[in-house]
Structure 1
Amino acid sequence: MSPSEIRVWAPDGVGEVRAGDDLAALVLPLVELADGDVLVVTSKVVSKAEGRVVSGTTREEALAGETVRVVARRGPTAIVRTRHGLTMAAAGIDASNVEAGSVVLLPVDPDASARRLRADVLGRTGRNVGVVVTDTAGRAWREGQTDIAVGAAGVLVAETFAGRVDAHGNPLVVTAPAVADEIAGVAELASGKLGARPFAVVRGRADLVLPAGEDGPGARALVRAEGADLFGYGAREAVVRAVLGQPADQAPFGTAVPAEDLAAVLRLVPGTEVVLEDDGVDVVDVRSDRPDAVAALAFAHGWRLESPAPDAGSAVMARLRPATT
């Protein structure tokens, strides 16, 4: 098989998975693994084997326990950030392919689940494979869903081409293919949603599989830290959070922007005069008849509004400082 060719297949024959089932014992009789293969498994069967099925509840009732914060709501749909750091509809809680009246929660630690399965395969077959645990997710600005990696072990989750040049000599600055997500997507093409084939094998990218004993950082490495994403809230939710200005809502907006950037935004408010202090401290003096707009814009850019000490000779109505100070 050439480096430009990959093979993907998903075996039939996996029955209903229940709490306590041995995933390696389920899949190994169905596939002949080779060193360098990537074994892909859906998070749903991992959750079922790990006892993450909750009976007598609905997705909505289970949502609060799986949510760190709500990112956006549109009607009955809630996009939330989970304790894994994932941003997903309904926290990845699934009510399909499960007994009526039950829901399946995501694994507690999908990376740890992947590590256990990888170790079991190595111990029973001697084969060094990577493992990717997948789940289905939507995409901003795109219709439809695709599978992504929510857990990984023994596989490079992202390649980096930063510092290299293309065929025309152009430098590659931020190119970093999320190969674990690409593996998840191609595996789903073979597994299908309704085929009862929760395992797939991807062969042909042994260069992405780490040596035995090296599990790598896992899929968690693909999750952006809170505040590092440009879209920490939905459009409507961002307006509400900025206007209310609660300190607990600050982190998703990110770290404080430079004073010059904040000044440029504040100058868009009619009647606002902005003066940067020249003593080296990132402080902005504001003269405005719209203190509400000034406060909201400051909050959204990581700054806080302070009332200055009374000064009969000054027209300054507010002073802004970075929220982290």
Structure 2
Amino acid sequence: MSVRAVAPDGAPEVTAGDDLATLLLSLLPADGPDALADGDVVVVTSKVVSKAEGRVVPGTREEHLPAETARVVARRGPTTIVRTHHGLTLAAAGIDASNVATGSAVLLPLDPDASARRLRAELHRRSGRVVGVVVTDTAGRAWREGQTDIAVGAAGLVVAESFAGRTDAHGNDLVVTAPAVADEIAGLAELAQGKLGARPFAVVRGRADLVLPAGDDGTGAAALVRAEGGDLFGYGAREAVVRAVAADADPRPFGAPVGAADLVALLHEVLGVVARVVEADVTEVAVPTSDPAVAARAAVLAFAHGWTPVTTADLRFRPVTP
């Protein structure tokens, strides 16, 4: 198998109202081995999508960050990592101030999946080719230095392959293996595009098996976004502590609650208290303590693990739904 990415030179500066399908097709030969073909995946940066859709705004990233933020994930010095209204976790909400006139910023597309669907449909109408489309943006990674491009929008493409239920060459069951192929395609395309190459488009060839039939746009890249509360790393380390201590100010749980036995074990391990499970209409965990400091710490632990207090006189907790 071989997979290749070609990023054509010669793209002009994109402005509001520009037709990206016309622009891309003008950069590719009309026929021959490098012409657009069925099964290709067209990759386009979110920046040029945003420019074409009129998402260039006056002002700085900092001025527009609050409106583009669903919630703050972490802050370190001048860096703010947020969850956007799309569900993406990005530094500065993906707002870009590079390759744009001084004093302006580029916001992410309002709906990158919809942008990908429109581009796919227009390329099919004009060329007759059935292709997949990926809209990309640059993101950092937990535990890793540097950044890589990821898919923030997609159409007509299987965005994640599921290997669950299969076995490897040694007979081992694959339980949760699901390569995010849309992200892998985005990273491959960026190698050809380059950050400073003025090549916002790329065509990836060699994975036609991932491209869906005409009329089937698939799940979009939104399917790669974990639900709120479902991510093990939904907050920075400091921010997680602040949320747990200030639970009354933000009562949403961190995620699915741990089991009652797990909470009892945690309370014993951290605080030395011997809690017990109470069977009622719903499961409760009772913490025998008259010490306000122990009770406060128990409440923090319980909140961080998806449980909320239901009484204070006899300290009891119940699981909550994220």
- Show the counterpart of 1:36: 39
Alignment deviations for residues 259-293 of structure 1 (CA, whole Å, 9 cap, x no partner): 11111111123341201114573101102331111
- Are 1:322 and 2:319 an aligned pair? yes
Q: What is the CA–CA distance in structure 2 between the aligned matches of 1:270 and 1:13, rounded to whole Å?
A: 65
- Show the counterpart of 2:55: 52
Q: What is the CA–CA distance in structure 1 between the aligned matches of 2:139 and 2:27, rounded to whole Å?
A: 28
CA positional deviation for 1:35: 0.3
Alignment deviations for residues 94-144 of structure 1 (CA, whole Å, 9 cap, x no partner): 000000000000000000000000000000010000000000000000000
Q: What is the CA–CA distance in structure 2 between the aligned matches of 1:249 and 1:189, rounded to whole Å?
A: 43
CA positional deviation for 1:302: 1.0
Q: What is the CA–CA distance in structure 1 between the aligned matches of 2:151 and 2:191, rounded to whole Å?
A: 14
Q: What is the CA–CA distance in structure 1 between the aligned matches of 2:88 and 2:260, rounded to whole Å?
A: 31
- Show the counterpart of 1:258: 259
For residues 199-210 of structure 1, the aligned pairs below 5 Å read 199-210=201-212
Given that 1:250 and 1:300 are in contact with CA atoms closer than 8 Å, whether structure 2 keeps it comes out as no
Task: Say which SS state the counterpart of residue 269 (structure 2) adopts.
Answer: coil
Task: Say which SS state the counterpart of residue 73 (structure 1) adopts.
Answer: strand
CA positional deviation for 1:307: 2.5
For residues 177-256 of structure 1, the aligned pairs below 5 Å read 177-246=179-248, 248-251=250-253, 253-256=254-257
Q: What is the CA–CA distance in structure 1 between the aligned matches of 2:304 and 2:116, rounded to whole Å?
A: 38
- Show the counterpart of 2:63: 61
Q: What is the CA–CA distance in structure 2 between the aligned matches of 1:114 and 1:150, rounded to whole Å?
A: 10
Q: What is the CA–CA distance in structure 2 between the aligned matches of 1:149 and 1:271, rounded to whole Å?
A: 47
TM-score by length of 2: 0.94
Task: Say which SS state the counterpart of residue 189 (structure 2) adopts.
Answer: helix
- Show the counterpart of 1:314: none
Given that 2:53 and 2:109 are in contact with CA atoms closer than 8 Å, whether structure 1 keeps it comes out as yes
- Show the counterpart of 1:268: 269
What stretches of structure 1 of length at least 5 have no aligned partner?
Answer: 310-316
Alignment deviations for residues 168-207 of structure 1 (CA, whole Å, 9 cap, x no partner): 1000000000000000000000000000000000001100
Distance 1:247 1:262, change over 3 A: farther
Task: Say which SS state the counterpart of residue 250 (structure 2) adopts.
Answer: helix
User: After TM superposition, where is structure 1 displaced by more than 4 Å over at least 4 residues in a row?
Assistant: none
Q: Percent identity?
A: 71
Q: What is the CA–CA distance in structure 2 between the aligned matches of 1:74 and 1:49, rounded to whole Å?
A: 33
- Show the counterpart of 1:141: 143
Given that 1:158 and 1:180 are in contact with CA atoms closer than 8 Å, whether structure 2 keeps it comes out as yes
TM-score by length of 1: 0.94
Distance 1:49 1:125, change over 3 A: same
Q: What is the CA–CA distance in structure 1 between the aligned matches of 2:185 and 2:202, rounded to whole Å?
A: 10
Given that 1:286 and 1:319 are in contact with CA atoms closer than 8 Å, whether structure 2 keeps it comes out as yes
- Give the CA RMSD over aligned residues: 1.4
Alignment deviations for residues 52-73 of structure 1 (CA, whole Å, 9 cap, x no partner): 0001x11111100000000110
Given that 2:282 and 2:318 are in contact with CA atoms closer than 8 Å, whether structure 1 keeps it comes out as no
Q: What is the CA–CA distance in structure 2 between the aligned matches of 1:210 and 1:306, rounded to whole Å?
A: 50
Given that 1:271 and 1:287 are in contact with CA atoms closer than 8 Å, whether structure 2 keeps it comes out as no
2:21 to 19, 24, 28: 24
Q: What is the CA–CA distance in structure 1 between the aligned matches of 2:267 and 2:155, rounded to whole Å?
A: 47
2:307 to 289, 303, 308: 303
CA positional deviation for 1:82: 0.3
Amino acid aligned to 2:48:
V
Q: What is the CA–CA distance in structure 1 between the aligned matches of 2:206 and 2:311, rounded to whole Å?
A: 63
- Show the counterpart of 1:292: 296
- Show the counterpart of 2:31: none
Q: What is the CA–CA distance in structure 2 between the aligned matches of 1:211 and 1:147, rounded to whole Å?
A: 26
